[in-house]
Structure 1
Amino acid sequence: MQEEKKRFIQEFVPGKQVTLSHLIANPDADLFQKLGIAESGAIGILTLTPSETVIIAGDLATKAANVSIGFLDRFTGSLVLIGSVSEVEVAMHHINDFLYAQLGYTAARITKS
């Protein structure tokens, strides 16, 4: 008796959400060097879906606080912010709040290390 092969098709259907929102306070200088970004007091890391949301988030961040964009990828939804700890935190809260209240996104809790 021949065993029947099963075939699975998986699809990724992104929701409107902030999937990761993490602030690294006072990172080691080596981390900045490895990432190829300017040294600062903090790094904010966000992952957003749909991925084009990073364009909106980058704009919101730079208008809300004195932060710079260390990295933005509209294809993966990754955004890295750099600045002082307090400024990066303000920017991240502003992104979460705006996306939740204005665009109906699910926001992520901002974690910190």
Structure 2
Amino acid sequence: MEERITREELLEKLFNDDYEKLKGKKLRLTRVRVPGKSLDFAHVITPSDPAVYQNLALNIGVHEGEDHTGESIGIMRVTPWEAIVVATDVAVKAADVQVGFMDRFSGALIILGGLSQVMTAVEEVVKFFRDELHFDVCEIHKS
């Protein structure tokens, strides 16, 4: 009778054998990321300390000299990263918010504005990505 091994046992054996052969040799590791279609972070905060805005660098560049103290901050992250451009477009069209930061190379977006405006913008982005683009989306967290 033929002995069957599980997939996990097979993978463990393959990796163990490779590891034993590579011991003591120089290794080069490559990190590969295969992004899915997901909006995996949506958070709204209302900080009261100006240090929060300064540490997020929301007081430099195009926002230099502006005081955002008391405004809410919406933070989102999307993969594929380029889709953050779409999220930004949806957010600024959905509510009276400013773009604090957008990075198409990491999929990060920070928006600023009043609490109700930021909540509306984040809700509309999540809804658009879920219903129109069929992305996996997370729940919106608020603190």
TM-score, with structure 2 as normaliser: 0.71
CA distance in 2 between partners of 1:68 and 1:81 (Å): 6
Instruction: Confirm or deny that 1:5 pairs with 2:22.
Output: yes
1:49 alignment partner, one of 65, 76, 79: 79
Answer 1 or 2: which has greater helix percent.
2
Provide the aligned length of Structure 1 versus Structure 2: 111
| Aligned residue in 2 for 1:58 | 88
- Deviations 1:51-97 (CA, angstroms, capped at 9, x unpaired): 01110011100000010000000000000000011110000000000
| Aligned residue in 2 for 1:30 | 51
Q: Which has the larger radius of gyration?
A: 2
1:19 alignment partner, one of 40, 43, 59: 40
Runs (5+) with no aligned partner, structure 2 = 1-19, 59-65
Q: Please tell me the root mean square deviation across aligned C-alpha atoms, in Å.
A: 1.8
Answer 1 or 2: which has greater strand percent.
1
CA distance in 2 between partners of 1:80 and 1:48 (Å): 12
| Aligned residue in 1 for 2:135 | 105
Query: Does the 8 Å contact 1:18/1:108 carry over to 2?
Result: yes
CA distance in 2 between partners of 1:109 and 1:60 (Å): 17
Query: Does the 8 Å contact 1:62/1:68 carry over to 2?
Result: yes
User: Percent of aligned pairs with the same residue?
Assistant: 36
CA distance in 1 between partners of 2:38 and 2:48 (Å): 26
Q: 1:10 to 1:98 in 2, by over 3 A?
A: same
**Per the alignment, in what secondary structure is the counterpart of residue 111 of structure 2?**
strand
Runs (5+) with no aligned partner, structure 1 = none
Does 1 or 2 have the higher relative contact order (CA < 8 Å, sep 6+)?
Answer: 1
